Homo-oligomer: A and B are copies of this chain.
Amino acid sequence: MGARALAFDVFGTVVDWRSSVIAELEAFGKSHGVEQDWATFADNWRKGYLPAMDRVRRGELPWTRIDDLHRMILEELLRDAGITEVSDADVDRLNRAWHRLDPWPDTVEGLTRLKERFVITTLSNGNVSLLTNMAKRAGLPWDCVISAELFRHYKPDPEAYLGCADLLGVRPDELMLVAAHPGDLRAAQHVGLMAAYVARPLEYGPNQRAHQVTDGEFDVTATDFLDLADQLGV
């Protein structure tokens, strides 16, 4: 294994965005006296993010950070649900739920072990302040915080993967992307990075179909970050 640094996808790979956002939405609903299927609301909020990001990637929108994309989608979902009597400050507070996501149970221990051997960084489409606030709250021990925002290119654009290696001062083949999403990993491999797939079967809730991954497609396939640390000999 020639990896010197590990770059982690964050939403779904490091943190359980779905449970965290549902809990925030439920609390919001209670304090505002509104009832909804908040799980579906959370799923729609997340679903809105890919097409919004793709509009940025295609150049239809100027560079827009995730906080602002999340906010656009949230306002539309609230409007569609007829929830209109909410102050701007409360919408903003709810929007920042994405800064307060909880890690998976193995995350902190796994990262702490991996940090002994490797430089560990985020490589997320989340903006720097979101990632920084999340890490501070959840105790994620990053060596540094790298975001698509720094390159103004969202993953899976090559600029994000290559820019990360460049900032870390390593060659692309010395950088391993760790992610729960095969598409992210394949895009990283396409520009020369190593790739570690970590299964997160509960990312989208219970009873989901697993991602299709071919045997030997990635340098490592792990069940969680502790298994990843074991396999990397840490």
Interface flag for A229 (CB, 8 Å): no
Interface string of A125-147 (1 = CB under 8 A from B): 00111111101100000111110
The reply to whether A143 and B135 form a contact with Cβ atoms under 8 Å apart is: yes
Complex Cα distance, B71 from A230, in Å, reads 38
Assembly stoichiometry (copies): 2
Complex Cα distance, B144 from A121, in Å, reads 10
Interface flag for A169 (CB, 8 Å): yes
With A67-B169, A129-B168, A167-B129: A136-B119 Cβ-Cβ less than 8 Å: yes
The reply to whether A167 and B143 form a contact with Cβ atoms under 8 Å apart is: no
The reply to whether A128 and B149 form a contact with Cβ atoms under 8 Å apart is: no
The reply to whether B136 and A143 form a contact with Cβ atoms under 8 Å apart is: yes
Complex Cα distance, B169 from A130, in Å, reads 9
Could you list which residues of chain A lie within 8 angstroms of chain B, going by C-beta atoms?
67, 115, 119, 121, 127-133, 135-136, 142-146, 149-150, 167-170
Q: Sample 26 A-B pairs with CB under 8 A, ordered by A number.
A: A67-B169, A115-B136, A119-B132, A119-B133, A121-B132, A127-B169, A128-B144, A128-B146, A128-B167, A128-B168, A128-B169, A129-B167, A129-B169, A130-B169, A132-B143, A132-B144, A132-B168, A133-B169, A135-B143, A135-B144, A136-B143, A142-B144, A143-B145, A144-B144, A145-B145, A149-B167
